[in-house]
Amino acid sequence: MHRLYEYGDIAVFWDSEKCRHAKRCVTGSPKTFSFERRPWIDLTQAPTMEIWQTIDKCPTGALSCVYTHETGIELDEDNSRSVAICNGEQIGECDFRKTQDGWVIYHTEVMPEHEGKGIAKRLVYKILEAADKSKVKVIPTCSYAKKVLSE
């Protein structure tokens, strides 16, 4: 299961398959991370620095994070894509095709001046999360989406 949590200046990725429940997150920022709550991550509950430092201590890499760089990620399911918006301008896009076998992610692109900020990973995670919630398999054919899924 893949989840993307975003609030203010931080975006957090969680890959449940890597989570070994060492619970360092829960002890590091107990108001942010709670397995007793749904959703189990609430980024409104602690300062960004506390959350960031806690995520750094996740021993398995199940948690990771980036700054949002004032860029929002939206799912545009009608057009089978996720989009990145910064200052009202679209700066990135990840596209998928709905097939009988699952959602095929075939293209991920971020404008060159916005590369290196984790925006492409957020775009892919937005689709992975939506597919998980719809219980649909994801089939990556785009090289970047393949990389995210094999990390």
110 Cβ contact list (under 8 Å, min separation 6)? 84, 91, 92, 117, 119, 120, 123
Which is closer to ligand SF4, CB of 19 or CB of 86? Answer: 19
Residue in 3, 19, 50, 146 binding ligand SF4, rule: CB under 6 A: 19
CB of 42 to ligand SF4, least distance (A): 14
Sheet holding 71-76, edge to edge: 71-76, 81-86, 89-99, 102-110, 138-140
Residue in 8, 21, 39, 133 binding ligand SF4, rule: CB under 6 A: 21
- 20 makes contact with ligand SF4 (CB under 6 A): yes
- 1 makes contact with ligand SF4 (CB under 6 A): no
Residues at the site binding ligand SF4, with contacts judged by CB under 6 A? 19-25, 58-60, 62-63
